[in-house]
Amino acid sequence: MKRIDLSGVFVLLCATTGPWLAGGCSSGTGSAADAMVDHPSGDDTAATGGADATGAMGGAGGAGGTSAADVAGSGGAPSDTALDGAVDHPADTCTLPSDCPDGTCWLQLNGARACVKPPASPTLLMCPQAGDPTCCKGDGDCTLAVDGGQIDKGRCLPRTSPCGGAAPIGNSCQFDECRADADCNAGMPAGATVAICAPAGALNHVNAGCVYGGCRTDADCTRSPGGRCAYALADTGGACVVRNVLFCAYPNDPCSMTSGCSPPAMICVPNPDYQGRRCGKGLPMYP
């Protein structure tokens, strides 16, 4: 299939491109700096870091796999009781594609299968009066011919900036980045052991997108008792770079999503080996 994002590691230089794809662009001061953690439904952990229903989509030409958590502000941080507590995994609520007629039967991070469906589109922004050929006014403007003429589920979404500054104007088209896990293998970054295609609706993604890291479910997190597979913003190094990863969070980590660091400059982020958490740099906030 034709790929939309060639980086494979979800890197955004917001100062030049404005908004982005899967994982944390937003215009609020909290934005992805809250270290979004998503532990799907059925578990006690709530999606965080901006799981509001307004979108943070960006980039002219559309980068696939945009996260719904990008959509507007930062949402509340989850409690460690939710993230680190010993909660029994729920039973599967679906097994076949036919069980989810308007979505996808997807293996969640907690090890249970459940239906996920694309989130509703947020309110769109006005396109510049002078005219902007990259600004879309609806999903109907977003068509991308791939694989012999099929259309890859284009969505028109408002542009946002993850690091503040001037408010972006207009909307841009976003497209599915992948259809199966195998589509993501080529883009796996060094050190990662997991590459998955998260369907629209999973991990707060508006479009299907590639996700990388060190775990697929809680069962992969065995370094310490009580390990959970989570999804959050990686250390930015102080730059306006958005990259969300799958990693193992443990109750004995030196920091949590709610304590142990001094936001917004420092937030609790995954270790480079995707095992455990430490304090690292979040997204800078420009005036």
The confidence band for 10, taking pLDDT boundaries of 50, 70 and 90, is: very low
Q: Cα-Cα-Cα-Cα dihedral of 259, 263, 266, 269, to 10°?
A: 50
Whose CA is closest to 14, among 57, 53, 54?
A: 57
pLDDT at residue number 162: 86
Q: Which has more pLDDT, 262 or 11?
A: 262
How do residues 59-100 score in pLDDT, each as one tens digit?
A: 333 333 344 333 322 233 334 444 444 445 689 999 999 999
Q: Inform me whether the pLDDT recorded for 28 exceeds 60.
A: no
Q: Tell me if 67 sits within 8 A of 155, measured CB to CB.
A: no
How do residues 105-146 score in pLDDT, each as one tens digit?
A: 999 999 999 999 999 988 999 998 777 888 999 998 988 766
Q: What is the mean pLDDT of the chain?
A: 74
Give 142's contacts (C-beta < 8 A, 6+ positions apart). 62, 136, 154, 155, 156, 173, 174, 175
Q: Inform me whether the pLDDT recorded for 24 exceeds 90.
A: no
* Residue 6: CA count within 13 A, CB half-sphere: 2
Rounded to two decimals, the pTM is: 0.71
pLDDT at residue number 165: 82
Mean pLDDT of 34-45: 38
pLDDT at residue number 183: 93
Q: Inform me whether the pLDDT recorded for 147 exceeds 90.
A: no
Integer Cα distance of 203 and 199 in angstroms? 8
Cα–Cα distances (Å) from 270 to 64, 160, 280, in that order, read 23, 25, 8
Q: What percent of the chain has pLDDT over 90?
A: 48
Mean pLDDT of 40-67: 33
